[in-house]
Structure 1
């Protein structure tokens, strides 16, 4: 039986390997990371005060060509009393095994197995449906798409959904319908055909340019390369299918908070504009798509933010955390 062991992020974190069986590339695992709880202050203990998010679990899922490494994001939640967990999905980051195609999936619903295993390991009962604790799902980019679809398919499980620049629509929305049949055909006959690499590494450079010395991050470039991992036909077909489902409208019952940059700048050449905008997603299209997720959706547009709003330059990053805190305080007040 797998046990919690020290994580690569240091003494504040532990990891647990989740066995997901085998596929045609060998054993498949996901990896659950937990942040060890921050102690409450002596003043709160002396006065018997409960912290804001006691009784709350948070599950974070990363984006494409990514893994969990954001220590401060975890501390935001544990400092408020929540239990914080992050999931490296199969074939990503801590879960990538030799001989596997990094990040490859042909159906986003396959991640239901990863998420169910994580929720069970979090002590929420089989598949996560038997807990009195509140559940917040937190997803970035492709992780935001995955969790949006999951929350719609699993009503009454999540109590809130927080999305950091979720990939809810193709970068060129008007052409999605035109290319989808070609991608679907290629996915059927040659799913592991790779598309030409078009990432010039500018998004990674932008993050390095705006790095905050007060919030240092040590990134494993084998798990989060400068240029994104290869894009395969089968994987792209799964993504486009997810976008089509979102465009048709989801039925997420829980309140949703979407954090986005205020603007998009295409990464065709390097410029300083790329250090204060999303260069991955067309944020206006994402904002429109977000309104199709459910009946209660808040969209926060953050001036100067990057694609991962929590990796932006200092001022935008602090703004993102202030907005997140404001939304969480309001959400928690509505639960009482």
Structure 2
């Protein structure tokens, strides 16, 4: 394993390369990004301790709400981790926040590789296992078991849902931001699957025609917070999105079918979704306040197949990534996330 080095996001972040062997396209790596903790407040002075004693207050401040919690975030399709604001939500409450750029995405993409390509979503078990091993090594001196919160967006939400069901004792909570749990043309999935299966067997790297018109990226730009702009690397988050390959689409459809059959995630699950979808056939202002990627009604229904304890939060005016929405919807998303996390902490007695 390599050493932690400064990350492209600046001084607040570091990255660690996780070697995963090789395939026909060469070296495979995943990349773990950690948000460095903010400086702790100074210890109380003798006078402050005296005042606290007189007032009957504790001499030492209690630990933050999420002390002892690790958050592992996984990005969506044609994407990578860049959301500093989301990281600070967790670290400001005492959690350790780490994000994983999966193999052939973002920081992990190497020259000559097919961006984002995977033939079986279960292969990502290797990426996640390497990340968790690095996280354990980084917290080896804590002396206590740390709770694990999985957080996934879109395709990352599908990957983590399947992983959490296959590893029922690993996660303490699962939080999904518009998870891609069902194909956009759900009634046609059964008809499409055999054709995709055949093409994936014969020519798995064949690319489907590009249908992304760039409207989702345009909507994000239109609602961006001018006081907190987030720049992205166009090679890692291209517009239009990366090409879809037959082998990858077969893996996704298999994942959707597995979700439809029902998962068994024992940990509580929170799903955050936009209140509505919009079909992006041409540009309109409606696209700045709706999910233009998924059919949110289908995702809300599929979410109930994840496990026995699922909360679905529907957010008016949210985009596909609810935390990149217009300020009002974004603030609502963070408020709902905090409410759910606060309830989770209270319920677990920690």
Shift of 1:131: 6.9
Alignment pair present for 1:224 and 2:206: no
> CA offsets, 1:97-155, max 9 Å, x none?
00000000000000000000000000169xxxx97110000000000000000000001
The 3-state SS of whatever aligns with 2:107 is helix
State TM-score, norm by structure 2. Answer: 0.93
**Residue in 1 that maps onto 2:333:** 320
**Residue in 2 that maps onto 1:33:** 33
More off after superposition, 77-86 vs 208-217: 208-217
The aligned runs of 1:134-149 (5 Å cut-off) are 134-149=147-162
> CA offsets, 1:226-263, max 9 Å, x none?
11100000000000000000000000000000000000
**Residue in 2 that maps onto 1:168:** 181
> CA offsets, 1:200-234, max 9 Å, x none?
00000000000011221011111001111000000
**Residue in 2 that maps onto 1:6:** 6
**Residue in 2 that maps onto 1:250:** 263
**Residue in 2 that maps onto 1:239:** 252
The answer (yes or no) to whether the contact 1:38–1:81 under 8 Å persists in 2 is no
The 3-state SS of whatever aligns with 2:136 is coil
Partners in 1 of 2:103 and 2:203 — Cα distance? 21
The 3 A distance-change label for structure 1 pair 185 and 281 is same
Which ranges of structure 1 fall in alignment gaps of 5 or more residues?
none
Alignment pair present for 1:115 and 2:121: no
Shift of 1:95: 0.2
Regions of 4+ moved over 6 Å: none
Alignment pair present for 1:153 and 2:161: no
Partners in 2 of 1:296 and 1:302 — Cα distance? 20
**Residue in 1 that maps onto 2:118:** 105
The 3-state SS of whatever aligns with 1:123 is helix
Partners in 2 of 1:316 and 1:43 — Cα distance? 37
Shift of 1:167: 0.1
More off after superposition, 41-50 vs 141-150: 41-50
Alignment pair present for 1:23 and 2:36: no
Partners in 2 of 1:256 and 1:147 — Cα distance? 11
Alignment pair present for 1:304 and 2:323: no
Shift of 1:38: 2.1
More off after superposition, 42-51 vs 87-96: 42-51
Partners in 1 of 2:265 and 2:299 — Cα distance? 17
Partners in 2 of 1:306 and 1:220 — Cα distance? 20
Shift of 1:39: 3.1
Partners in 2 of 1:238 and 1:17 — Cα distance? 25
Which one of the candidate residues 71, 77, 95 is aligned to 2:84? 71
Partners in 2 of 1:96 and 1:164 — Cα distance? 23
> CA offsets, 1:301-331, max 9 Å, x none?
0000000000000100000000000000000
More off after superposition, 116-125 vs 101-110: 116-125
